[in-house]
Structure 1
Amino acid sequence: MAERLRFRRAIADHQVEIAKLGLGRFEQALEAKATVLAYRLSRAQVRAQACEEVAERFAGLRKALVGRDPSGPAPTIELRSVEAAEVVARRRSEEARLALQQALLEMNQLRGAPSLAPLVVKAPVLALKDAPRLDEFLASARDGNFSYRMQVLESEQLSLQSDLARSNSVPGFTAGPYVLQDRVGGRETIVGLRFDIPLPVSGRSGSAERAANERKRQSKAAIAAAWRDVEKDLGQTWLSYASKVDQLRMHKDDPAVRFAEAAKLAESHFRAGALSLQLFMDAQAGYLEAVDSALVIQEQAVEAGFRLRELSGVNFNPVSAR
């Protein structure tokens, strides 16, 4: 909101350079939001599908266990365990579908479509690029960070006002010729050079200068604080992006796909009697956790990459399709 107000102020004050910077930042932010939303929508589809698979798997197992001989406590306990796991999986499936609908609503709003217009996003496997060095982002941020540039511009304006106040506080003088004619007792003409020197009769000019200097000092302090915030935000975002990329590159393939295969294999082995119920349930839970973790890390990495571009002005797109 603050940056939007500064952007409008730059347009109103005919500050063309800052207005262009703000417009470019707005266009980049719009592109980043569309990309992140599309990615979020596609990943919500994957998450909803995984939760539905596990829920259906537990439902099928529950139906199979109901037909077994209920003699003894073990079959009953196993059945109740599967029923409880099915309830949890159904809840997660509903949450995933709700998240999918929310992402769809936001995407439709962004593209100007009806709220419930169907949209399926098929995202390719994403490869995240290595970010440039942090010092490159910091060097570009002095000119490319919109908030910081507006702060510098405001400081320059206050500095100009301070210089004008100091100039007005110094008494000036005017000089020019003058002619005086006197007709009493004859005619006399006096030609000379006149100097007008104002005398400071109050402390208003000094007070104005002191106030302007104080505003100038406060503005310099605000610039220093703004730059420290830029350094902190860029540093934290850069570290977050690098960490997420390293985590994702620890696995040569998609962990969600690998755990999906393990969960499906666990079901077939359990039905054949070669796997215990506990291992089967652990495989399903591990599948959902792996999907959630992988998707969250990927989404956070994409957001952090675009945030780096927003903070620095560097034309860096973290996502490349492969």
Structure 2
Amino acid sequence: MKPTVSTPSSIIRPALGLVLLALAGVVRAQSTSAEAAPAVSLSTLVSEITAKNPELAFYEAELDATKAGRKVAGTRENPELSVSVGRKRVTDPLGALAGEGTAWSVSVSQTFDWPGRLALRKAIANQDIVLAELGLARFKAALASRARTLTYGLYAAHERAAAAAEVASRYQALRELFLAREPGGITPLLETRVIEAQELTLQKRATEAQLAVHAALVELNQLRGLPVDTPVTVAPVKLALGSAPDLDRILSAARENSFEFRAAKLELEQQGLVVSLARNEGRPSFTVSPYLSQEKAGDKERTFGIGLSVPLPVTGRAGANIAAAEARRRQAETSVLVAQRNMEREVITVTHRLAAKLAESAKWTPDAARRFREAAELADRHYRLGAVPISTYVELQNSYLEAIEALYETQLEALEAAGTLQLLTGLELNAVETQP
């Protein structure tokens, strides 16, 4: 008796075929769309993103605001003009009106800070500008690193999706071939089930590959400030990953160039200036007020002179401000120590990760992907001829996909680690783009 196909399998196979056809259609549609768009090199996309990213406006506006704040910090308060007008009546001892007329006065007052106060305020404002410039530089460096990683990630995702679609088409063709002929025994039936099981597994891989392409494309277009569905074709690239950097050199550069560590040190310097300003503000400002007044009620009376006023330090507010500034300075000292420890820990961790990924990548030959693809194609041809067993065929197809995934994931992780180290050290450690 010939083995029969159960009803659930007869339902699953056509449905699965439709799913894989749909996935293959998506891959072909995206490939057609990508081919329609001109290929763009990785370096061109990175330059475009760093020049046109919408978020740059935030950091540039912050820098403009701090520059405007320095202008305010370097100027005295505006003088104040006071004008008063009234009527004056003069009576004699008996209460009779002796005279009546207009009385008015004009005064201008200007407050002068204690010597050195304006210079301290300008120095604090200058530190704000340096911090804003540092923040802008850090964002640009992080943006370039992210753009480089994301662009290469999009290229890798396209390659993985293409490989998944290629293997999917092979499994689909084999399944259709098996279904077109009547099984002649238990072995063909079991081989059909193996192919169906591999199709189910491949469905997940193909879906994940397409989702990775879509996610990378959306984020890349957002960084470019373009509609998220704008097609992008990344020109084929290879990464010259180089050798692992020297840890001592990396740590030395990080102590000089790490954005977070430099920001912590700048904030400590600024807080020292704040303490000096608080002590200066313990000395009073003084206000000078020249004035002129005139009264006319029978006789004409004119008075002019100059007034001087100073606040009386009786509340103890100046001492409290100094104590608060000193406490914040001690906090800033602690922040510098914490930032240094975090920086050194991250540098050491990322350096070791980069070295491991570079060592792993060095084991891959330049033509590894091509050789695995050719082996998978060869296994497909010879399996159809009956020269290769089903186990070898399945193993080679899966090995091809796993090798493609491992190759691009390793290179992408190495690129990410190099980008992180560049942010920490300021050194150019990113892989160099080369055309294959």
TM range (shorter): 0.7 to 0.9
Query: Structure 1 residue 288 and structure 2 residue 401: aligned?
Result: yes
Match of residue 368 from structure 2: 255
Greater Rg by CA: 2
TM-score normalised by L of structure 2: 0.60
Query: Structure 1 residue 269 and structure 2 residue 382: aligned?
Result: yes
User: Which whole-Å CA distance do the structure 2 matches of 1:168 and 1:96 have between them?
Assistant: 63
Match of residue 36 from structure 2: none
Query: Structure 1 residue 18 and structure 2 residue 131: aligned?
Result: yes
User: Is residue 238–residue 433 contact of structure 2 (8 Å, CA) maintained in 1?
Assistant: no
Query: Structure 1 residue 231 and structure 2 residue 348: aligned?
Result: no
- Tell me the alpha carbon deviations over residues 174-217 of structure 1, each in whole angstroms, 9 at most, x when there is no partner: xxxxxxxxxxxxxxxxxxxxxxxxxx999877665554443333
Equivalent positions of 1:1-322 (< 5 A) are 8=62, 12=66, 13-14=125-126, 15-163=128-276, 210-321=323-434
- Tell me the alpha carbon deviations over residues 195-252 of structure 1, each in whole angstroms, 9 at most, x when there is no partner: xxxxx99987766555444333322111101110111111111111111111011122
Q: 1:96 to 1:237 in 2, by over 3 A?
A: same
Give 1:154 deviation, angstroms: 1.6
Give 1:292 deviation, angstroms: 1.0
Amino acid at match of 1:312: T
Bigger Cα displacement from structure 2, 7-16 vs 120-129: 7-16
Give 1:28 deviation, angstroms: 2.1
User: Which whole-Å CA distance do the structure 1 matches of 2:256 and 2:175 have between them?
Assistant: 63
TM-score normalised by L of structure 1: 0.79
User: Which whole-Å CA distance do the structure 2 matches of 1:118 and 1:160 have between them?
Assistant: 52
Taking every aligned residue pair, what percent have the same amino acid on both sides?
38
Amino acid at match of 1:56: S
Q: 1:80 to 1:92 in 2, by over 3 A?
A: same
Q: Which secondary structure state, in structure 2, belongs to the residue aligned with residue 282 of structure 1?
A: helix
Q: 1:316 to 1:91 in 2, by over 3 A?
A: closer
How many residue pairs get matched? 292
The CA RMSD over aligned residues, in Å, is 3.0
Match of residue 9 from structure 2: none
User: Which whole-Å CA distance do the structure 1 matches of 2:355 and 2:391 have between them?
Assistant: 37
- Tell me the alpha carbon deviations over residues 236-270 of structure 1, each in whole angstroms, 9 at most, x when there is no partner: 11111111111011122243322211111111121
User: Is residue 357–residue 413 contact of structure 2 (8 Å, CA) maintained in 1?
Assistant: yes
- Tell me the alpha carbon deviations over residues 258-301 of structure 1, each in whole angstroms, 9 at most, x when there is no partner: 22111111111211211110111111111111111111111111
User: Is residue 130–residue 318 contact of structure 1 (8 Å, CA) maintained in 2?
Assistant: no
User: Which whole-Å CA distance do the structure 2 matches of 1:137 and 1:279 have between them?
Assistant: 47
Give 1:33 deviation, angstroms: 2.2
Q: Which secondary structure state, in structure 2, belongs to the residue aligned with residue 123 of structure 1?
A: coil
Amino acid at match of 2:377: K
Structure 2 residue runs without a partner (length 5+) = 1-54, 67-124, 284-312
User: Is residue 129–residue 320 contact of structure 1 (8 Å, CA) maintained in 2?
Assistant: no
Structure having the higher helix fraction is: 1
User: Is residue 10–residue 18 contact of structure 1 (8 Å, CA) maintained in 2?
Assistant: no
Structure having the higher strand fraction is: 2
Structure 1 residue runs without a partner (length 5+) = 172-199
User: Is residue 69–residue 75 contact of structure 1 (8 Å, CA) maintained in 2?
Assistant: no
User: Which whole-Å CA distance do the structure 1 matches of 2:346 and 2:236 have between them?
Assistant: 29
User: Is residue 239–residue 431 contact of structure 2 (8 Å, CA) maintained in 1?
Assistant: no
Amino acid at match of 1:284: Q
- Tell me the alpha carbon deviations over residues 159-180 of structure 1, each in whole angstroms, 9 at most, x when there is no partner: 33445667889x9xxxxxxxxx
Give 1:49 deviation, angstroms: 0.6
